[in-house]
Amino acid sequence: MNLKILILQPVKEIKIPVHFYALAAMLFWGMSFIWTSRLLVHFQPVTIIFVRLLISSAFLFLLMIVSGRFEKIRREDIWLLIGSALFNPFLYFLGENFGVKYTSATISSVIIATIPVFSPLIAWFTFREKISRLNIFGLFVSFSGVAIMLVSRDLSFSGDGKGVLSLFGAVISALVFTVFLKRLTRKYSPVTLVAWQNIIGALMFLPVFLVFESKKINEVRLNYDIISSFIFLSVFASSLAFVFFAKTVKEIGISKANIYSNLIPVFTAFFAYFLISESFTLQKISGIILVVGGVYLSERNKPVPVSGSREPGT
């Protein structure tokens, strides 16, 4: 074949399997708890969230501008967007980061993984969507898994109460956020929503950061672990993971896509053992299995799903 003709031939677009996007999103979200744990050694929770949101929003806005898909928010939707940003990322990330600080990366990921289990409840309460017995059974199974991880053999509470309450506060924030999200996703793309919510969230965190934590940041010496953890947390967990999950939802629907969220605590527990030396006991494995099983049951035969996924931050 003539070399000139070969060079001028259009390059075929490489099709990436949807399962790759789903697995990558869950891996990034699972790893986010580990990156957060590493940063908590050097910084307070609000500092981590503030920097994370700034980098993520800058990355997403740049992505929209370069791709020519920049969307402006309509005036009538501004307060709706501010309300959504109040619950996620502001309240959600406060609960998640303080949860990781006072418990562990694995326990945090397991509790956060129960968000899809509670989604049918908020859907029933807000939109009067039907809730099945399987959803309720999945809820009890997941709760039993969390209980196994938090209660010691002598029936004493092994988790830190502040951390556990913070994490369930994050779960509630994520569920309330879905009410706002359901209305906004009818008008705007997921990337647009995450970018604007992150920048609004950063502005909400700014006064808290300036008053309580800005002076402490000067005491930290930057190194590779700190910089890489911030970049991974911002670009991969708060940006690309959401874009990848949106692609997954578009291809296979949110009910099937949410089943992949079962892998988040699995990824967290696996990498936490190797990267930050967290214990990996039989009790913890049993709890993860029950939580994952409960989430799977709650996702089966779900009637009209609500966007109850993590980030989920994002």
- CA neighbor of 118 nearest in space, from 101, 135, 98, 93: 135
CA–CA separation, 116 and 96 (whole Å): 16
Q: Are the beta carbons of 113 and 291 closer than 8 angstroms?
A: yes
- Which tokens hold the place of 259? 């089943």
pLDDT at 158: 60
What would the pLDDT profile of 227-251 be if each residue is shown by its tens digit? 999 999 999 999 999 888 878 877 8
CA–CA separation, 163 and 167 (whole Å): 6
Q: State the helix-helix crossing angle for 18-40 and 224-231, rounded to 10 degrees.
A: 140
- Which tokens hold the place of 301? 């035969």
Q: Are the beta carbons of 278 and 269 closer than 8 angstroms?
A: yes
- Its sign, for the CA torsion 111, 116, 117, 122, is positive
pLDDT at 157: 57
- Which tokens hold the place of 136? 């309720």
Q: Are the beta carbons of 246 and 314 closer than 8 angstroms?
A: no
pLDDT at 299: 66
CA torsion angle 175 177 178 181 (round to 10): -170
Q: Read off φ and ψ for residue 281, nearest 5 degrees.
A: -90, 170
User: Which residues are 311's β-sheet partners?
Assistant: 313
Beta strands, E only, 31-88: none
- Report how far apart, in Å, the C-alpha atoms of 279 and of each of 106, 212, 292, 295 are: 9, 33, 19, 23
pLDDT at 152: 64
CA–CA separation, 271 and 16 (whole Å): 25
- The set of residues, in sequence order, having a beta carbon less than 8 Å from that of 219 and lying 6+ positions away, is none
DSSP state for residue 228 in the 8-state scheme: H
Q: Read off φ and ψ for residue 135, nearest 5 degrees.
A: -60, -45
CA–CA separation, 293 and 113 (whole Å): 11
Q: What spatial distance separates the first Cα and last Cα of the chain, rounded to whole Å?
A: 49
- The set of residues, in sequence order, having a beta carbon less than 8 Å from that of 304 and lying 6+ positions away, is 123, 127, 129, 130
- Amino acid occupying residue 133: R
What predicted TM-score, i.e. pTM, was given to this entire model?
0.82
User: Which residues are 313's β-sheet partners?
Assistant: 311
Which stretches in the chain have pLDDT values below 70? 1-16, 120, 123, 126-129, 131, 152-159, 253-255, 258, 298-314
Query: What's the count of helices (H) and strands (E) in the chain, helices before strands?
Result: 15, 0
